[in-house]
């Protein structure tokens, strides 16, 4: 399983930048080139979001 940290290392940006790009944070100021590098790396490495399990309340 590929992690955000691995994508950050691959693209030479911070983990927080990778996270914010992959979560479509529109308040993040990042170049289109950087955004494209992150998205391309995520696709190439077959990144999938880790879905958190939600447990019902008793």
Predicted local confidence at residue 58, as pLDDT:
66
Give the number of domains in the chain. 1
Summarize pLDDT for 17-57 with one digit per residue, the tens. Answer: 999 999 999 899 999 999 999 999 999 999 998 777 677 77
Position 39 in a domain: yes
Q: Which domain holds residue 22?
A: 4-44
Position 22 in a domain: yes
Predicted local confidence at residue 56, as pLDDT:
75
DSSP state of 13: S
Position 23 in a domain: yes
Q: Is the pTM of this model over 0.85?
A: no
Position 57 in a domain: no
Position 52 in a domain: no
Predicted local confidence at residue 32, as pLDDT:
94
C-alpha separations of 51 from 26, 28, 48, 54 in Å:
21, 23, 9, 9
Determine the Cα–Cα distance for residues 29 and 17; give it in Å rounded to an integer. 10
């Amino acid at each position: 399983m590929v992690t955000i940290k691995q994508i950050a290392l691959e693209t030479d940006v911070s983990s927080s930048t990778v996270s914010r790009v992959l979560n479509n944070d529109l308040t993040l100021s990042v170049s289109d080139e950087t955004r494209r590098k992150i998205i391309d790396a995520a696709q190439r490495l077959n990144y999938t979001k880790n879905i958190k399990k939600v447990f019902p309340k008793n």
